[in-house]
Amino acid sequence: MLYSSAPLVINYQCALETARQDEKHAAARVEKRAPDVVTEVVVGATATVFELDGKIVDAATAKAGLAEGEYIIVGETTPTFVPPPPPPPATSSAAPLRAQFVEEPISSPAAPTTTSAPPPPPTTTAQATTSSAPPPPKTSKPAQSSPSSGATGLDADFPSGKISCKTFPSEYGAVALDWLGTGGWSGLQFVPNYSPDAQSISDIITGVAGQTCSKGAMCSYACPPGYQKTQWPKAQGATLQSIGGLYCNEDGFLELTRPDHPKLCEAGAGGVTIKNDLDDSVCTCRTDYPGIESMVIPACTSAGETIELTNPDETDYYVWDGKTTSAQYYVNKKGYAVEDACVWNSPLDPKGAGNWSPINIGTGKTADGTTWLSIFENLPTSSAKLDFNIEITGDVNSKCSYIDGAWTGGDKGCTTSMPSGGKAVIRYF
């Protein structure tokens, strides 16, 4: 996704794959997912391109296929920034940042299936069932508050190979996401042919509600706001799928996949907070990455609350295919509870929450110490509109806001930056 302070055409080059319907493992319809923000600073006007099996597909055909579930968007890459020189100190007259963030897709085939199980859905596709029933009316029930960053167990080393896969590791800082129906885990990826010395993983079956961590699975988990998981195997998807979490071994015990990182959660680079000045709660949901890449990691704020937003440092976090990671968040409408917001398909608002949230936020710290922050419309996935305003304030070098449906600092989004040691506030009001 491409945004600029100058008029530009959106560039979203998409790799398409024919959607497969598997009654046991997949929904009847599948749609685009976005992993943690994949970013690169670029310049110039470009055009939308859709590609299927190496051939260009015209936009009308591609969009019709996406709408009908005949195609899905696959192969989005991990985040990377190529920023200009560090920004000058913030001043009241600073001009908008003339840079764009673009998601880079990789065209790649779906992972091979196993002979002992039904064909797995593409690992970049959420598993959820759709319903023909109309959504219930919007309610204003309060969001489930995310645990504080001082949760018990964050400083405890995890005893690899000693805890049953039936036990969710809350005592070691992990946060159970009970509303997902997967035993508290944020995502499940069954990898029947995995071994610790594997170079890549070709057989990947994404778990669905009703399943839980069991033998042969990578079991991903959430951490409190300001923290992120430390575990993912060295071996990643043979066709560039991301894989993350603890491994449930053949004896039914959880193993660290990065033994040199014995704590399950680690703090991000810091410096970024969400301040909720609304009279209602808001859930901001991060994608489970590396992992199934569904937007289920909660950072929910009650009215008047301020919490830290996890800000990954690219020099010390997940790197895959030579690309570093920043975080992507989905901003839901106010008043939505966590089970209606931090999910792929929202039972409350199927086309305006979860994967279809109106707004995305991106944040990440680059090697030069600069933190890049962006707010942008969730295009082309959603046409939903946010029912409140957002602005980024603090030690940033340019204005970036979405107020009364209008952008400051861009067209369909905006980007700003914060120097090392600075503080930035993403304010909801």
DSSP labels, 116-183: SSPPPPPTTS------SSPPPPP--PPPPPPPPTT-TTTTSPP-TTTSBTTS--GGGT-B--GGGSST
Per-residue pLDDT of 70-106, as tens digits, reads: 655 543 334 333 343 444 443 333 333 323 333 333 3
176 CB burial (10 A radius; 0-12, 13-18, 19+):
middle
Beta bridge partners of residue 285, listed in sequence order: 298, 330
CA-CA distance, 372 to 365, in Å (whole number)?
6
CA-CA distance, 37 to 164, in Å (whole number)?
33
Looking at the fold, whether 303 and 363 belong to one and the same domain comes out as: yes
- Structural domain count of the chain: 3
Looking at the fold, whether 253 and 285 belong to one and the same domain comes out as: no
Looking at the fold, whether 283 and 360 belong to one and the same domain comes out as: yes
Beta bridge partners of residue 265, listed in sequence order: 229
> What is the strand order of the sheet 50-52 is part of?
55-57, 50-52, 14-18, 71-74
Looking at the fold, whether 302 and 422 belong to one and the same domain comes out as: yes
Looking at the fold, whether 274 and 397 belong to one and the same domain comes out as: yes
The parent domain of residue 235 ranges over 152-265
Is 54 part of any domain? yes
Q: What was the pLDDT predicted at 152?
A: 57
Q: What was the pLDDT predicted at 61?
A: 72
Question: How many other C-beta atoms can be found within 10 angstroms of the C-beta atom of residue 338?
Answer: 23
Looking at the fold, whether 379 and 253 belong to one and the same domain comes out as: no
Residue 76 is given by DSSP the state B
Token pair of 139 as six digits = 């309610």
Q: What was the pLDDT predicted at 204?
A: 96
**Domain boundary pick from 63, 79, 95:** 79
Per-residue pLDDT of 325-384, as tens digits, reads: 999 999 999 999 999 999 999 999 999 999 999 999 999 999 999 999 999 999 999 999
Q: What was the pLDDT predicted at 122?
A: 32
Looking at the fold, whether 303 and 204 belong to one and the same domain comes out as: no
**Domain boundary pick from 79, 95, 123:** 79
CA-CA distance, 201 to 194, in Å (whole number)?
6
Strands 41-42, 100-101: pairing is antiparallel
Is 37 part of any domain? no
CA-CA distance, 249 to 196, in Å (whole number)?
10
Residues of the chain under the 70 pLDDT cut: 1-60, 62-152
Q: What was the pLDDT predicted at 384?
A: 98
Looking at the fold, whether 276 and 391 belong to one and the same domain comes out as: yes
Looking at the fold, whether 411 and 292 belong to one and the same domain comes out as: yes
**Domain boundary pick from 79, 103, 122:** 79
